[in-house]
Amino acid sequence: MRTKRRIILSIAGAGTLAVSASMAALAWGHGYTSDPPSRSALCAAGVVFDCGAISYEPQSVEGPKGFPAAGPADGEICSAGHAEFAELDDPRGGDWPTTAVDPGTQTFTWTMTAPHSTASFDYYLTDDAYDPTKPLTRDMLDLEPFASFAMGGAEPDHTMTHDVTLPERSGQHLILSVWTIADTVNAFYSCVDVDFGGGEETPTGTPTSGAPTEPPADCGAWDAAAVYTAGDTVTHNGTVYRAGWWTTGEEPGTTGEWGVWKPTDAC
């Protein structure tokens, strides 16, 4: 029997991470739905554990664009077809935490870590065929987006918000948000678990048990040869900085608004 309780998730600015130098190429992509929190955001924020690589780089769920006619295969939609992110496709027995929603107006927020020329943002919702205990497939979705925002090639802001109108539903559902890039062949996919008319839900099993595997480093002096991951703090030229994702050799104070290092108040 699940225990439902109201929880507040303030993770729109959740840090992004990468697991190792071998994953560095993935660590530079690019954005995810952070509020209501997507599965990627929940893993990165430490609300859900045993997530694998996605905990360290929630912004990297990038796959072929053209959904629903093209794009990731059924059963691999939430991971965008990345085997290393397969934990996102695992329904965990229907026990992903859900955000309480109601039909009507809802604001969605995307957190971007790198700008891209954008075609559109599209939002899809599961229909009555949805089974939260099974991986997401197209036949569980209404394949007409309930909200769509064309951008005509413009680049998004660091934080993008969209006010949408949720259709009538009841019980547990899944919202698929898709950020389609204009000048590449790819799109970014985010799966958001929601409960129409319900409360925030915390699973009782392993998804929220355990502890982060890689605590932040102490606030020592920045070392150009060191490897840092999201949450690590350093001092450099008298300022404390926090890493947003995996990095090495990038000097704090030089990476700019979209860069990995952000000033912070304390270690």
pLDDT 10s digits, 23-42: 333 333 489 999 999 999 99
C-alpha to C-alpha distance for 33 and 116, rounded to whole angstroms = 15
Give the residue extent of every domain in the chain. 24-208, 220-263
Phi and psi at residue 203, to the nearest 5°: -65, 150
C-alpha to C-alpha distance for 17 and 59, rounded to whole angstroms = 9
C-alpha to C-alpha distance for 243 and 216, rounded to whole angstroms = 10
Segments of the chain with pLDDT less than 50: 1-29, 199-217
The yes or no reply on domain 24-208 and CATH 2.70.50.50 is yes
Structure confidence at residue 246 (pLDDT):
67
Phi and psi at residue 138, to the nearest 5°: -65, -35
Task: Give the amino acid at 35.
Answer: D
Q: Under CATH, domain 220-263 is a member of which superfamily?
A: Carbohydrate-binding module superfamily 5/12 (2.10.10.20)
Give the tens place of pLDDT for each residue, 182-193.
999 999 999 999
Angle (CA) 245-56-228 rounded to 5° is: 40
